[in-house]
């Protein structure tokens, strides 16, 4: 229908609805009824304009983003709310719902205030045009053909103004997407005769990443390539939403690769943006059709709970199927058929066999030179966030018990948004659901050797320590295992004991585990006998060791196990680390240590993306202040390499010279 005709029809209907007001007004004998008629006409036109505003006001945005349409028996989350208001409300409040959103003031948390963002030789700009979000950035189609390692240092990149059309993330950070083909406001200028079916003709809604990320808690922008643990030699390769994020950040996404060129072109569609109802419950059309009849609904509620509902309820699935509902995203995998995925997306539906569609990447099958090898510790434990199934599925609680994701997590009865944990699931209740023996309940100190109610008596801290990394911090491993120390040193997973007792050597931990739990006695090399584990990980470990050790240096439980002053000189070592994400985590950790305020320099600031010489100057200045103000206050212990207020630089250098410099690429 032509938009002018739509306006006319709706205006007449609105005016008809307002007519009784005029008649009532006229009956009162008011002589100004013609003025009232004019007012009503104007009011009806305004109401009509608001009702139909979305038909024409943003054709550019509609053409740029994935088309939201139903297909393959999916009906969309808005269909579910009619009958499932309570469940819809809890989902609506979750970060799952806001994982992918159209660019709008309610979705974007960053201020597009006209500031310039400089990385290397390139200066970007973020700004508003009316109520739209725009950036000045190198032309996307030009940038795709450049060297990803040197791109930020290009002396004269061709710049262009691009509109932000979509945003990913709403919890820790936000990433922003621009269109490769719908960024010219004149081409996509809205007109009165724009047709709805124009969207059916869109053949390219490929979205490329704007190379800056907004950190929500810090309220600051950082370069995209600096937001992950990635060796600088990997650079900043181009990223497209249509063939990467679509898998887990939308429902029933179909990339629909049109041309496999550089850049590629997609005609992408989704049922819902974000993670919505049918991602976990499967296609809803048969369920909706079945319950259209109110008698069927009443019968189901009142008399026949066992009647078929034609929808998947994850809580009613068997253990394996239940876990796979979450594992379809929270695992490390590739598509069985890349060609099928490029056309139609991932075909897995909750309740089906995930192995038919997902090729899980398991540690045992990897060569040390393969890309995914970086995602694991040497014992096969996954160490990248968002891939928790590879941890849980290796746990005895899952293999020989009945534990699944839903044992602890619940989107509809979550205690808080951050981890979707159910009520009381941040306590030992999570474990004593199954482990009800007295040594884990009434006599817990006999098991933990820590006072009840302390951090050392929390099951999670010993059996699910923060040995995984994501979103600029440590997260809990989902491979539930027993703390242990081994003689293997390269790429060794940090043990839970020393992640709390950072100031103790690994040999101290090994001996204690032998004494308390009967572990086999082992003798470690002199470094691990005589040096605090936290220092070993920072000075000698790989990038993951260093980053997690830095994060734990300000973790609250560790502040109760040893004094703080000795930590500063080792954290300062990482302010100039090769990995920018390591520098970021270190700086955040430093700022959270209460006594850091004594060290801060007036008129001298640090930024983890500053040029190296500036970082070194700041690092040295802080080290000098530590020697002057805190060196003699720090614990004077040989395992901390501190004596008479100074550091044993020779011993520290020896650790550094034996550092594991394996190139790390952690793709979150």
Task: Report the mean per-residue pLDDT for the chain.
Answer: 89
- Distance from C-alpha of 490 to C-alpha of 61, rounded to nearest angstrom: 50
Confidence of residue 411 (pLDDT cuts 50, 70, 90): very high
- Distance from C-alpha of 587 to C-alpha of 564, rounded to nearest angstrom: 15
- Distance from C-alpha of 621 to C-alpha of 337, rounded to nearest angstrom: 55
Contact 610, 584 (CB under 8 A): no
Contact 224, 209 (CB under 8 A): yes
- Predicted pLDDT of residue 15: 52
Beta-bridge partner residues of 469 = 384, 474
Which two tokens mark 252?
């029933």
- Predicted pLDDT of residue 600: 83
Q: How many CB atoms lie within 10 A of CB 231?
A: 16
CA distances from 421 to 409, 410, 429, 456 (A): 4, 6, 12, 21
Confidence of residue 111 (pLDDT cuts 50, 70, 90): very high
Confidence of residue 371 (pLDDT cuts 50, 70, 90): confident
As a whole number, mean pLDDT of residues 157-162 equals 96
Q: How far is CA 379 from the centre of its chain?
A: 25
The percentage of residues in the chain with a pLDDT greater than 90, rounded to a whole number, is 76
CA distances from 128 to 53, 59, 63, 133, 611 (A): 21, 18, 20, 5, 29
For residue 550, pLDDT over 90 is answered with: yes
Q: Among 56-65, 474-483, 517-526, which is the least confidently predicted range?
A: 56-65
Contact 124, 145 (CB under 8 A): no
- Give the gyration radius of the chain's Cα atoms: 29
This prediction has a pTM of 0.89
- Distance from C-alpha of 478 to C-alpha of 468, rounded to nearest angstrom: 9
The percentage of residues in the chain with a pLDDT greater than 70, rounded to a whole number, is 88
pLDDT tens column, 120-151: 999 999 999 999 999 999 999 999 999 999 99
DSSP state of 117: E
For residue 106, pLDDT over 80 is answered with: yes
For residue 92, pLDDT over 90 is answered with: yes
Which of 271-292 are b and which e, b meaning 16 or more Cβ less than 10 Å from the residue's Cβ? bbbbbbbbbbbbbbbebbebbe
- Distance from C-alpha of 437 to C-alpha of 402, rounded to nearest angstrom: 17
- Predicted pLDDT of residue 17: 53
Element spanning 124, H or E = strand 122-129
Contact 416, 425 (CB under 8 A): no
pLDDT tens column, 194-219: 444 454 555 689 999 999 999 999 99
- Predicted pLDDT of residue 566: 94
- Distance from C-alpha of 466 to C-alpha of 455, rounded to nearest angstrom: 14
- Distance from C-alpha of 326 to C-alpha of 318, rounded to nearest angstrom: 13
Helical packing angle, 543-552 and 533-540, nearest 10°: 140
Long-range contacts of 345-348 (CB under 8 A, 24+ apart): 345/246, 345/247, 345/252, 345/253, 345/254, 345/255, 346/247, 346/253, 348/324
Confidence of residue 10 (pLDDT cuts 50, 70, 90): very low
- Predicted pLDDT of residue 310: 92
As a whole number, mean pLDDT of residues 379-404 equals 96
Contact 282, 82 (CB under 8 A): no
Strands 67-68 and 269-270: parallel
Contact 376, 382 (CB under 8 A): yes
For residue 299, pLDDT over 90 is answered with: no
As a whole number, mean pLDDT of residues 347-364 equals 94
**144 Cβ partners below 8 Å, 6+ apart?**
208, 238, 262, 263
As a whole number, mean pLDDT of residues 61-88 equals 95
- Distance from C-alpha of 495 to C-alpha of 482, rounded to nearest angstrom: 9
Confidence of residue 612 (pLDDT cuts 50, 70, 90): very high
pLDDT tens column, 421-457: 999 999 999 999 999 999 999 899 999 999 999 999 9
């Amino acid at each position: 229908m032509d938009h002018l005709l739509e306006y006319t029809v709706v205006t007449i209907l609105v005016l008809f609805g307002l007519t009784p007001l005029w008649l009532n007004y006229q009956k009162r004998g008011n002589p100004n009824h013609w003025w009232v008629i004019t007012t009503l006409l104007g009011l009806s036109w305004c109401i009509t304009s608001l009702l139909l505003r979305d038909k024409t006001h943003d054709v550019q945005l509609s053409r740029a983003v994935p088309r939201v349409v139903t297909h393959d028996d999916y009906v969309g989350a808005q269909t579910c709310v009619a009958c499932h208001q309570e469940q819809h409300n809890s989902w609506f409040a979750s970060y799952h719902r806001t994982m992918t959103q159209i660019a709008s003031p309610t979705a974007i948390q960053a201020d597009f205030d006209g500031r310039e963002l400089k990385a290397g030789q390139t200066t970007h700009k973020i700004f508003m045009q009316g109520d739209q979000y725009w950036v000045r950035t190198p032309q996307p189609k030009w940038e795709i053909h450049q060297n990803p390692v040197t791109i930020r240092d290009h002396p004269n990149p061709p710049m262009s103004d691009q509109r932000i059309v979509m945003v990913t993330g709403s919890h820790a950070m936000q990433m922003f997407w621009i269109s490769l083909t719908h960024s010219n406001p004149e081409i996509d200028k809205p007109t009165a005769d724009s047709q709805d079916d124009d969207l059916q003709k869109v053949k390219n809604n490929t979205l490329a990443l704007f190379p800056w990320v907004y950190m929500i808690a810090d309220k600051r922008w950082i370069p995209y390539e600096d937001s992950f643990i990635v060796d600088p030699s990997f650079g900043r390769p181009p990223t497209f939403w249509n063939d990467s994020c679509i898998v887990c950040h939308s429902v029933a996404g179909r990339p629909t690769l049109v041309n496999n060129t550089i850049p590629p072109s997609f005609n992408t569609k989704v049922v819902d943006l974000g993670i919505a109802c049918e991602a976990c419950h499967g296609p809803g059309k048969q369920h909706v059709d079945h319950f259209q009849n109110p008698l069927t609904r009443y019968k189901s509620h009142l008399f026949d709970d066992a009647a078929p509902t034609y929808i998947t309820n994850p809580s009613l699935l068997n253990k394996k199927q239940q876990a796979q509902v979450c594992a379809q995203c929270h695992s490390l995998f590739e598509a069985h058929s890349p060609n099928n995925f490029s056309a139609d997306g991932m075909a897995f539906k909750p309740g089906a066999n995930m192995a038919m569609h997902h090729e899980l990447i398991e540690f045992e099958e990897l060569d040390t030179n393969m890309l995914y090898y970086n995602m694991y510790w040497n014992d096969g434990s996954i160490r990248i966030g968002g891939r928790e199934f590879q941890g849980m599925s290796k746990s005895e609680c899952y293999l020989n018990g009945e534990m699944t994701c839903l044992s602890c997590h619940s989107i509809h009865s979550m205690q808080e948004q951050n981890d979707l944990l159910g009520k009381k699931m941040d306590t030992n209740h999570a474990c004593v659901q199954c482990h009800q023996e007295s040594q884990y309940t009434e006599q817990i100190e006999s098991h933990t050797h820590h006072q009840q109610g302390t951090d050392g008596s929390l099951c999670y801290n010993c059996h699910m320590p923060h040995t995984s990394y994501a979103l600029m911090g440590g997260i809990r491993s989902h491979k539930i295992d027993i703390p242990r120390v081994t003689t293997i040193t390269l790429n060794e997973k940090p043990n839970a004991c020393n992640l709390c007792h950072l100031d103790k050597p690994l040999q101290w931990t090994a001996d204690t585990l032998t004494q308390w739990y009967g572990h086999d006695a082992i003798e470690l090399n002199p470094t691990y006998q005589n040096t605090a584990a936290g220092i070993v990980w920072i000075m000698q470990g790989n990038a993951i060791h260093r980053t997690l050790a830095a994060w734990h240096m300000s973790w609250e439980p560790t502040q109760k196990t040893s004094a703080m002053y000795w930590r500063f000189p080792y954290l300062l070592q990482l302010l100039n680390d090769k990995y920018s994400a390591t520098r970021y985590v270190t700086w955040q950790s430093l700022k959270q240590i209460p006594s850091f305020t004594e060290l801060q320099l007036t008129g001298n600031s640090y930024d983890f993306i500053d040029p190296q010489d500036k970082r070194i100057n700041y690092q040295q200045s802080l080290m000098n202040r530590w020697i002057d103000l805190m060196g003699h206050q720090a614990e004077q212990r040989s395992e901390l390499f501190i004596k008479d207020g100074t550091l044993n630089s020779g011993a520290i250098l020896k650790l550094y010279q034996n550092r594991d410099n394996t190139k790390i690429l952690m793709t979150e």
